[in-house]
Chain A
Amino acid sequence: GENVEQHPSTLSVQEGDSAVIKCTYSDSASNYFPWYKQELGKGPQLIIDIRSNVGEKKDQRIAVTLNKTAKHFSLHITETQPEDSAVYFCAASSFSGGYNKLIFGAGTRLAVHP
């Protein structure tokens, strides 16, 4: 079946540093790539997404890049803050059974130390 691999599984940075999380996907027809942030005891919250007709998208301190040829996309967080500490999930769309489902990566636990 379709697969999304996410690296690293854990990431520890100092406040103010940048953090990068990378994902690769297997379905060449994938056209939608969201990123979710999940804090302890809460549901995944959409933080940014990108569609396949765009190579890069930025929203304040977060940005996502997409390389369709290589089938990988990345999340970049600049000037990290302690409140960025959470688990981050990437996902890629996969059309099967007549609808688009999201295939999720296993998650990256980000710790930002003051």
Chain B
Amino acid sequence: DARVTQTPRHKVTEMGQEVTMRCQPILGHNTVFWYRQTMMQGLELLAYFRNRAPLDDSGMPKDRFSAEMPDATLATLKIQPSEPRDSAVYFCASGLDLRDRSADTQYFGPGTRLTVL
């Protein structure tokens, strides 16, 4: 069955290193959301893409985070340089925006658990 995939599932890195997380949305979906989940903050929205265009990245620390969609089957979230406070689980979700102002259903991937030492 169709599902969102994310790689890697786990990443341990040292402070200052670059981290790239990848997401493959469900085929045919035209929206992608990036979230970060921590015990303290819960689920935080980092970025939103529609038809590959970044429409909202207000949730991301601008100086170190960047998100892109090189094509319709790949979304990336990059952290450079990484810091210990970035340790969290990062989720990608995809949906289908019908442009009728009704909210699209979001389907989540399995997440990338990031640990920055």
Contacts and interface: CB of A to CB of B under 8 A. Distances in A.
Interface of A: 31-32, 34, 36, 42-46, 49, 51, 89, 93, 95, 97-102, 104, 106-107
Contacts of A93: 103
B105 A49 contact: yes
Contacts, number: 54
A97 to B, nearest CB: 5
A7 B33 CA distance: 26
Contacts of A106: 42
B18 interface: no
B10 to A, nearest CB: 10
B34 to A, nearest CB: 12
A101 B110 contact: no
Given A89-B43, A104-B43, A106-B42, A99 B105 contact: no
Interface stretch (B48-56, B70-78, B79-87): B48-56
A32 B55 contact: no
B106 A102 contact: yes
A93 B113 CA distance: 26
Contact of B111 (A31, A43, A102): A43
A112 to B, nearest CB: 22
Given A31-B103, A93-B103, A97-B56, 13 more contacts: A36-B108, A43-B108, A43-B111, A44-B43, A46-B106, A46-B108, A49-B105, A95-B103, A97-B58, A99-B31, A100-B101, A101-B45, A104-B42
Contact of B110 (A43, A46, A99): A43
B108 A102 contact: no
B107 interface: yes
Nearest to A34: B105
Given A93-B103, A100-B102, A100-B103, A43 B91 contact: yes
